[in-house]
Amino acid sequence: MLPVTVLATHFSNHGATITNMATQEMPREPGFLARSGPPELILCILQSCGSTRDLLALVSSCRYIYQVWQANPAAVLWPVWLREIPHVQDAIMAVSSFSLTPI
């Protein structure tokens, strides 16, 4: 339950003032994305994170968002890493072009 403050405005010759009239408890409901957000929309939001740190903070904020991320980690991490790590695509191509054979 979150407290919700009901405010009233009183007008007088000296201007408007806001006073606290009552405090009520209202039930806290889960947000739209936590209840029924389409996974495609959540993936777009996750892919738009500016850094891996931001991504992990968002993923750890909600169980449903975490489940969507767990089902599609590469689809989420790749766009973030392309923006965050310079030349990551070149590095991956260079490593994959070498064949590692035991001596």
Q: What is the mean pLDDT of the chain?
A: 74
Where are the domains positioned within the chain? 30-97
Task: Kindly report, residue by residue over 35-63, the tens digit of the pLDDT.
Answer: 678 999 999 999 999 999 999 999 999 88
Which whole-number Å values give the CA distances from 92 to 24, 62, 84, 97, in the listed order? 56, 32, 15, 9
CB 50 within 8 A of CB 83: yes
Q: Indicate the pTM of the whole model.
A: 0.56
pLDDT at 22 over 80: no
Distance CA 4, CA 37 (A): 26
Residue 57 to residues 22, 31, 47, 97: CA-CA distances in angstroms? 35, 17, 13, 34
Residue 49 phi, psi (nearest 5)? -60, 140
